[in-house]
Structure 1
């Protein structure tokens, strides 16, 4: 038992040393369910550049889409309402030496509480008190436990049910189907789709590797919607398939193939530890 604990701790330390700090130049998020680096070597050769340039997250930002500033009523945080009705919080500055501890998980939790419970919650002052753990950033298990505690504390404003953390192997097509399944849970949140009316949908947190591929910067975002997906058709040929994600005070529209790649690579993290891919935290209604 002592040896196992030491090895796990050593793996976390090695991971922290080997990986760039992200969660917007914040923490490496050490999570449950990480695949070995070796299982993703084929992905290291893919997508490093798009159209002759290095891929950046800003390539997918929806300009001037989330520009309605929300009055936060004394809360030390800032949130924005997007044109589709969704909410996206600014991510607080990271803490610790070199900014090793980021708040992307807590920011995703603030997005979730605002959209599903109608609550304004500071990522650092409120959400962090439920999600913090001994690792830099936020593990999937800690985010799951924190969301369950926050939903329980804020009954009956929040939906009844429980949050669960998942990771899985599989194809990019299967991952997009996982997202669609999570988004179709019963919800009080309504999203306005571009010229396609309104839809009830259940946003939830997913983990990605921030581009460019190979950055090894792990980051929680809030997935809002998947549009244009055609089941049974090769995902690589589905140019109209896109995923909407909220983070960093904005919304981003990402091709399904790119988002699936980022999510798969986010399971490449912990110094050879063999676990699952495509980490996410999904709600199961009661």
Structure 2
């Protein structure tokens, strides 16, 4: 009887451990990325446990390293843009996307610049965070061509570099305009630079929806199939963290040190930028996303999107899917 009881207890213990392991969610993200503000909020407030999983976050040196960890099975989820997911799905990889943020960058100019539009940068030097296929750069090129008949690539000098380098070049006045990610733009704004145009405004002028979330949590499709509660659990925890950050100043004060801000102005700008990027609740407009993908395929071709020429079916994890 004792042995039977011991065996039963052991089996239950093993089953409990297995269940706990199955409910662990390993996230690989850029160590200094803004997504850590949300993940930290999820963990600190127990939003992961409340939604049936244990979040474990691994900070890595770059987004490329996170993708390697994800593709190698060392991470369950990463953060990337859905256009990358579309490329992967078109190549046969069953990845799916849960919206995280619609925040996008734009182009900043020095506070004393006389430029009032992209047309005024003709003949100038533009710093671009990323490379020639940077999505913000492509959209701004299309916008300049449509609105002003201006070929930004041919009629300006471009300097490509990592976001921090472009940030510094902009502050030092080494470029006439700087295209950067939203959080660097927030810091530029706090330092006295001025937004010439955002990518969201340019995209809207091109007939695209500014409400399409660009960044999101990327899972393997098999996880959505085998353990949908885990995928939807992160989505629910993400929304709970966003709701808290949208309503509780104390939640931001707790994150201040992690945000590595140099001034109250930086703190306020970063907070405002994050909140502005919170996606709407409800399903993603797939027709709008398809329109964006088709434009990006036209601008960046297979070098940007591989074999993806339209929105692949099943890319977005919609409510109840």
Give the alignment's TM-score, normalised by structure 2. 0.25
The structure richer in helix per residue is: 2
Give the alignment's TM-score, normalised by structure 1. 0.27
